[in-house]
Structures are given as C-alpha cells and as structure tokens.
Structure 1
Amino acid sequence: MSRKTAAITKSKASRKPTAPAEIAAVRLPAPGEGKRGEQGYLGYLLRQAHAAVRLTMERTLADLGVTSPQFAVLTMLNAYPGLSGADVARLTFLTPQTVGVIIRNLDRDGAIVMTPHPVHGRIQQWTLTQRGTTLLKACRERVIALEKRLAANLDAKAETAIRRWLAGIAADLQED
C-alpha cells in the first residue's frame, strides 16, 4: 500500500485561503439540495428524514407532555403488553438507561404499571393503564396525521414498497 502524499493528508483547515472567494462564508445546503438531496448517501438521507420526522413529532406531541421516545415506549407496550424494560429498549432503539428514565416517568404519571414476571421474579413486566391507553390514543391521532403527511404523494403500491424496503433494511442489517 502506498503512502499518501503530504498534500493529500494535510487538512484543509490548516491551509491558508488563497482567494477572496475562499474567505467568504459557505452556504449550507437545504434539505433536498446537493448531498442532502438525491446525490446524498442513502444512510445519510434516512437519518436526515428520521431527524425531520422526530422533530415534527416532538412538536406535535409537546402539549400532551409526551416525547417521541415516550410515544415509542407506549406504542410498544400497547402492542406487546408485559415487556421488560430491556425488551422495550431493544424494540425502541433506546438505551436501557433511557428506557429506565422513561418507564419511571410513565409509571409516576400513572400511564403504565409494573407486575413481576410469573417465573423470573427479578424481571419487571410493564403494561399500559387506562390512563396510558387514553394518552396513547391522543398521541396516535396526531401521529397518524403526520403519517398521512409523509405518505401524501405516494399511491398505495409505492407506500407498500417503501414500507417493505425499510423493513427489509432493518432485517437484513440486524446481524451486522
């Protein structure tokens, strides 16, 4: 393997601007432009889209006192009652520590309740309370409106293909 020349390895930050154009401020591209658009890496575009959805969801749920991660926890506990905190962390892509804080807050607010596992006494299982179900319903109405906005320009076939593609990525890359 050949060694890189000094010109290649020298950082751009360490060299002095040679022309007035280099001194001018760089304009950041807006979403959809340059590398933030169709020229960008797929992974970056997925992350950019996720960040936009999450910010919009945070704003949408703020007056209900629910964060995007809390919504994810409520959703998974509704879909799979009796999950442990570790299971919730795996399903929501959150750290166990973050899920612990979320669970304590939801428990304190009366949205979820803990029951000991029938066989493994050290495992705590979590389920939604009536308050949690009501809160999740209010959140879901808003999130469904956001989902409709996301799919507004898609026909049913395209939406199905995108859902299949996204789920396939997760399934395919989970072993890496």
Structure 2
Amino acid sequence: MTKTLPTLGKIKGKDQEKGRAKRDSQPADAVAIPAPGQGKRGESGYLAYLLRQASAANRLHMERALADLGVTLPQFFVLTMLGAYPGISGADVARLALLTPQTVSVIMGNLEKMGAIVRQPHPVHGRIQTIALSDAGRALLAQCKVRATDVDKQLRAGLTPDEEAVVRRWLVTLAVPGEGLAE
C-alpha cells in the first residue's frame, strides 16, 4: 500500500498576488510514499532505518497495551528497572532505562504521585536518594509485565527458537561497547 501525496502546483492569478498556492493534485506531480515493508522501508532499506521503524512500531504497540493502566512506556521501563534493582538511584535508573536524568526525574515524580514508588535517603551518601517500588508499584508492574509479555510473544511470532536466539545475540552485540555500535 502506498500513499500518494499531492505536490504544490504553480501559484496562479489572485493567489499569486496573495502569496498562496493552490494544491495541484495531478497524479504526474504526486510523490508515492511506500508503506512499511515496501521500497526503502523494506528489505532493501538501510538497516539503521529498519531498526528505527521496527522500534517505532513496537513502541506504539506497547503504548497501546499499557494505556488503560495509565502507564507510559518510559514509566514501564523505570518500573521494570526498579523491580529488578531495588534501592538504586535515579541516575542509575536513567542509565539502565536509557533515558535522560531529567526525564527520569519527571517520571519518578509522577510515579511517586501514583503511589508506585518510595524514596529514601541513601544510607551512606545523604544527598542521594534510593528508590524502590511500593506494594502498589509492584502490583502495577506485575500488570504491565503481563501486557509486555503478550506484546513480546507477538514480536516473536513466526520465529523459531534458533532464529530468535540469532536476533537476540545480534541486538545485544550492537549494544555492547567494543563489540557493536556502542563505544
């Protein structure tokens, strides 16, 4: 499926004087935009673009899956990291969730208002706060994980276990400093 977008035609008559253009919707002037999987958005496209396209599609799918829980995808990332590494700092969460410290700070504030996290002073470094999930946060994370698992199953659909292992190794290799793209 391709979309056809009309291009702007020549400015004519009174519109020319007012600086406005009329749309020229003649097919000869149209630009065809390929659907995902077609043209450069398909197998002949740049790998980096295809990764971004797949990531965007997955993000949209995850956002829709989490929406009725009132959780955004970045909030889910933060909840997941706090569930896996209780008591870590906001800076650590930012590094693990691949978010900026400023974004994590806003997310933490929202999660705290929701009653999903609790903050406590670090036992040694007084200026650092440790963050952990509250009981409500653990329950919310459990609900989110059910949705994420469903999306993950859909993502793996059609892959054999061997193919999935190859994809996983390749993606990890891209992210490991010195092995892939990360330096």
Both structures adopt the same fold (TM-score exceeding 0.5): yes
Aligned length: 158
Residues 111-122 of structure 1 mapped to structure 2, 5 A cutoff:
111-122=116-127
Which residue of 2 is the match for residue 47 of structure 1? 52
Equivalent residue in structure 1 for 2:113, among 108, 132, 152: 108
Q: Could you tell me the percent identity over the aligned residues?
A: 61
Which residue of 2 is the match for residue 76 of structure 1? 81
Which residue of 2 is the match for residue 173 of structure 1? 181
Equivalent residue of 2:33, what SS?
coil
Deviation >4 Å, runs of 4+: 20-23
Equivalent residue in structure 2 for 1:132, among 108, 114, 137: 137
Which residue of 2 is the match for residue 6 of structure 1? none
Distance 2:182 2:87 in 1: 24
Distance 1:126 1:101 in 2: 14
Equivalent residue of 1:99, what SS?
helix
Normalising by structure 2, report the TM-score: 0.82
Structure with higher helix content: 1
1:160 counterpart = 2:165: yes
Distance 2:171 2:164 in 1: 11
Normalising by structure 1, report the TM-score: 0.85
Q: CA RMSD in A?
A: 1.8
Structure 1 residue 23 displacement after superposition: 5.3
Structure 1 residue 137 displacement after superposition: 0.7
Equivalent residue of 1:120, what SS?
coil
Structure 2: gaps spanning 5 or more residues: 1-9, 11-24
Structure 1: gaps spanning 5 or more residues: 1-15
